[in-house]
Structure 1
Amino acid sequence: MSKLYVFGIGGTGARVLKSLSFLLASGVACKSDSIVPIIIDPDSANGDLSKTTNILRHYQKIRKELSFDTSSKNEFFKTPIESLSPNFSIKVQNSNKRFKEFIDYGTLDSKNKALISLLFSEKNLNADMEVGFKGNPNMGSVVLNQFNQSDDFKAFASSFAQGDKIFIISSIFGGTGASGFPLLLKNIRSADSSLDNFSLLQNAQIGAISVLPYFGVKKDEGSDIEKSTFVSKTKAALRYYQHGVNDSVNAMYYIGDDVNKDYENNEGSTAQKNDAHFIELASALAILNFANTSESDENQVKEFGIENDVNSITFNHLNDKTKFTIYKPLTQYYLFHLYTKTKLRGKLDMNFAANIGINSNFLAEDFYSTLRGFNDAYWQWLVQMSKNERGFNPFTLEESNENVLDSIKGIQLKNGGFLQGTSNYERFTEKLNKTSKQINKSVNIENRFVENFYLATENLVKEK
């Protein structure tokens, strides 16, 4: 079985992993047998990291109750998400110190202190690293250079097997991502015999996405983060990547945007909770593109583009390949969420409920509660992307809309047939009644429930 290890570095890495979770939950195809997320972030209290970790845990908990044998037609949650540590993270040791304490500045002689002063400013030396490197990759490159000796990294090396792949997510305009990516790549490509499977790591298929600036931060005199430095940092990093990074990966993906929104200037910790962005969804698609591409020794460089340059993207503004990849899965899961959120409790007297055996007791169980929490997070993800700049807004996002199939923007409904003279939700219920007869009654109720909704929403989207 082939695994894809996905390293998410810093806040951007965590947010891309969140988007990947929702794509996999909706049934977007992934040819790897499982995904293994590994987050690298010295800011363990990062709000974006906490949200992603909770979503990954919810995904695992839901999928644990589902089975995918040859008779299963369900694609929701089909790809397993595995974990090497409870929080999906590699611990960064001693990152809660001031930088000068980390490098033992006080023990250096005068000549070495003079050298250090050429490389690091007084502000760098006195920086508290508890919330990360605040846009200083020169600090991050020193602190993160230790993670290859951590037990978590050694566990990754021990579990790596022939045929497995690696993908690395990082931003290029901050501190953690810009420094962490080349260090991680170096430690994998130069793995020595102290690590298990070191020769497999040295020759592994590696893909990576480098996220260029796609948002700004508001001016704050009390913050070390300044958006005016984003472009200069990006240019400097790109020059280094051109000669020291690109040749070491099999596929290098680049993405960014000059349409962006200024977020609140939070340096880190629990306050850092950036809204979901289309760039993160597209970056997650790069991961799946790499997973679904045959192995290659060539060093490929890829970029992502939309078909039309608009500020609010719908499915019709994507090129055909991207639209084909995500339209059906995201729409099906959107319909799944709306029915379970607004209608299911009042439809327990319908035939589909009797056929698959769901009742009010099922709605009170832990599985359904976890699923509802995950689906609410999916809805919030869609809402945040729709309001961001550049926005991704393919749905009207109105939970009270009875004509639910009209809420897919830019898609012309077929005339007649199942829509004629009947409300969308009544037809939705009819589809659930019909597909419930196809469900294997020998599988557990969780499988019956999810597969019934997958088949019903699939039929709705095909007929639409």
Structure 2
Amino acid sequence: MARLFIFAIGGTGSRVLKSLTMLLAAGVRANSKHEFEIVPIIIDPHKSNEDLKRTERLLGNYQAIVDHAGLGNGFFNTRIVTLNKLVSSENRMSGSFAFSLQQVAGQKFRDYIDFNQLDAANKALTDILFSGQSINKRHEQIDLLDIEMDIGFVGNPNIGSVVLNQFKDSEEFKEFASNFNAEDRVFIISSIFGGTGAAGFPTILKNIRDAMNNRNIDGKGFLQDAKIGALTAMPYFNIEKEADSPIQKSDFIAKTKAALYYYKDNVTGNNSVNALYYIGDDYSGKPYKNDPGDNGQQNDAHFVEFAAALAIIDFMEIPDADLECDGGKAIRPVYKEFATRNDVTDIAFSDFEDYTQRKTELPLSQFVLFKRFLDEHISTAAGKEAWSNDAPELDQKFLDDRFYRTNISEFLHAFGEWLREMSNNKRGFAPFNLNAPLDAIIKNRNVNKGWFTGKVDYAMYDSKLSKLSKGKSYSSAQQKLVQLFFEATEDILTSKFGLKN
């Protein structure tokens, strides 16, 4: 099976990866020649970043659900694995989705580069390259060389590019290179208006293209001409103004222009990337809390991150012939943007172009119905309805099991939070009436009326489940839960709401 290695850099990388995980959980899939296994590698020096921790927890639950229920059940239909799962030999990697940056926690940048050991000429050069002032996590003004890097690079890509360059010598990069096959692909997620993402994208890209010149890498030779896609997020949200913070909204556009100017020569100008996706938005909505990182940095989910996740699906759909390289250079590089049909404050499915609507409306609506049933009705129905009692039973014992109580319940709770955060954000993504009756749950969708249609309620839902489960055999209760509810929600939404599969 082909693999897509996703390098998710910084806070934006983690949030886009979270949106991708939600789409894959709902059953969104790429229409492509290859079936892809997803291998996320999160790169962020800020280990206490709440966005990173939420994404890691989500990925862990997704992985556990697939391990128990298997694939081919509709929901959770794409395998997501940690890099160490691909490695057969003993190695020093953890089972985490996050790459562990060495010598960053609790260390100042000047100590990281051994500034005091440099000779006079190199000290002078370093002072020029890293001149300027910043604000530390105690809100004190300091020289850039004295930045403590455990909360990230606080908008300083020049520092980030030096620190992130260690990736090429890491155990993770060696294993990535040695396990990369000809049919595999790479996708890099980053923002362009901060520090970690703006520095990380060109650094990681260069290290991949130059991997075979790295004497520490024992790869198969496929990396130089790897099919590489990337998502560059331009400013898309607002932040509160805070005079003593190193992060200022007024710097976003200037940093974006500077990064794009650099990319013109070192990314797009030299054809280093096969497909580059640009995304951004007018970020005049409610501002996020100005948090450089010392308070955990947890941002609400945003529609731009949802659209960015769709870029990864799109990249998997591009034919191999359109992603050819020669000597590490893309022969026909592709550049894409994302747009909606209507410029509205709160986006619904009807505001998407036709293909995007077909791709997302049915699976996400199914997942919402799945969550609603488990939240509101399964404890009442378990052990009473026919679908619950057909072997393997989905009874109270099953509901008390760790798989349901932790993996499924936590994942669906996070899915609900994700939808609420996007609906409350500006620009908002609010395609559902989350607290409405089941027959009004999708905005701009009416239930078909007629003599034989019946009311959409939990009694009808139970009837569908019982009809579908009758006479079926399932490998386990976990597999039954995922497959049965996928089939039932698909039936309800296509027959009652008129959605197309």
Relative to the length of structure 1, the TM-score reads: 0.95
Contact 1:439 1:452 in 2 (8 A): no
Q: 2-side partners of 1:424 and 1:272: how far apart? A: 40
Alignment of 1:26-425 (within 5 A): 26-30=26-30, 31-68=34-71, 74-84=73-83, 85-96=94-105, 97-120=107-130, 121-122=132-133, 123-191=143-211, 192=213, 193-197=215-219, 199-246=221-268, 247-260=271-284, 261-269=286-294, 271-295=296-320, 296=322, 297=324, 298-348=332-382, 349-356=384-391, 357-369=393-405, 370-398=407-435, 401=436, 403-416=437-450, 419-420=453-454, 422-425=455-458
Of 303-312 and 101-110, the range deviating more from structure 2: 101-110
Q: In the TM superposition, what is the alpha-carbon distance from 1:423 to its structure 2 partner?
A: 4.7
Superposition CA RMSD, Å: 1.5
Q: 1-side partners of 2:451 and 2:181: how far apart? A: 51
Q: SS of 2:358's equivalent?
A: helix
Query: Which residues of structure 1 form unaligned runs of 5+?
Result: none
Query: Which residues of structure 2 form unaligned runs of 5+?
Result: 84-93, 134-142, 325-331
> Among 479, 485, 489, which residue is 1:447 paired with?
479
Q: In the TM superposition, what is the alpha-carbon distance from 1:269 to its structure 2 partner?
A: 4.8
Q: In the TM superposition, what is the alpha-carbon distance from 1:313 to its structure 2 partner?
A: 0.2
Contact 1:211 1:256 in 2 (8 A): yes
Contact 2:235 2:283 in 1 (8 A): no
Of 262-271 and 40-49, the range deviating more from structure 2: 262-271
Q: 1-side partners of 2:160 and 2:35: how far apart? A: 31
Q: In the TM superposition, what is the alpha-carbon distance from 1:221 to its structure 2 partner?
A: 2.4
Contact 1:161 1:197 in 2 (8 A): no
Relative to the length of structure 2, the TM-score reads: 0.88
Q: 2-side partners of 1:340 and 1:311: how far apart? A: 31
Cα deviation per residue 1:113-135 (whole Å; 9 max; x = unaligned)?
22222221252111111101001
Of 59-68 and 382-391, the range deviating more from structure 2: 59-68
Of 381-390 and 111-120, the range deviating more from structure 2: 111-120
> Among 440, 446, 467, which residue is 1:434 paired with?
467
Q: 2-side partners of 1:294 and 1:137: how far apart? A: 34
Q: In the TM superposition, what is the alpha-carbon distance from 1:416 to its structure 2 partner?
A: 1.9
Q: 1-side partners of 2:53 and 2:377: how far apart? A: 31
Q: SS of 2:229's equivalent?
A: strand
Q: SS of 2:222's equivalent?
A: helix
Contact 2:191 2:198 in 1 (8 A): yes
How many percent identity over aligned positions? 44
Contact 2:180 2:220 in 1 (8 A): no
Contact 1:91 1:147 in 2 (8 A): no
Aligned to 1:458: 490
Q: 1-side partners of 2:232 and 2:202: how far apart? A: 11
Q: SS of 1:271's equivalent?
A: coil
Q: 1-side partners of 2:168 and 2:62: how far apart? A: 28
Q: What is the number of residues matched between the two proteins? A: 455
